[in-house]
Copies of this chain bind each other. A is one copy, B any other.
Amino acid sequence: MAGTDSRREPQLGGPAIVLVEPQLGENIGSAARAMLNGGLTDLRLVRPREPWPNAKARAAASGADLVIDGARLFERTRDAVADLRHLYATTARPRDMVKPVATPRQAVAEMHRGFPDGVGCGVLFGPERTGLSNDDLALATAVISVPLNPRACSLNLAHAVLLVSYEWFQAAAAGFPPPLSFDRGSPPATREELFNLLVHLEEQLDDAGFLHPPEKRPIMLRNLRNIFTRAGLTDQEVRTLHGVVTALSGRRKGQRGSS
Contact = CB atoms under 8 A, between A and B. Distances in A.
A3 interface: yes
Interface string A135-157: 00000000001111111111111
Nearest to A132: B1
Given A159-B162, A166-B163, A2 B153 contact: yes
A147 B90 contact: no
Contacts of A148: 2-4, 6, 37-38, 166, 169
A4 B92 CA distance: 6
A125 interface: yes
A63 interface: yes
B92 A1 contact: yes
Interface residues of A, number: 51
A91 interface: yes
A168 to B, nearest CB: 10
B37 A153 contact: yes
B170 A147 contact: yes
Given A3-B92, A4-B146, A37 B152 contact: yes
A5 interface: yes
Interface stretch (A28-36, A178-186, A192-200): A28-36
A18 to B, nearest CB: 12
Given A62-B154, A159-B159, A149 B36 contact: yes
A188 interface: no
A160 interface: yes
Given A1-B90, A1-B157, A2-B154, A38 B170 contact: no
Nearest to A145: B4
A117 to B, nearest CB: 14
A216 interface: no
A56 interface: no
6 contacts: A3-B155, A6-B149, A33-B156, A64-B152, A147-B170, A149-B169
Interface of A: 1-6, 9-10, 12, 30, 33-34, 36-39, 62-64, 90-93, 101, 103, 105, 125-126, 131, 145-160, 162-163, 166, 169-170, 173
Closest 4 CB pairs of A and B: A2-B92, A3-B148, A3-B146, A36-B152
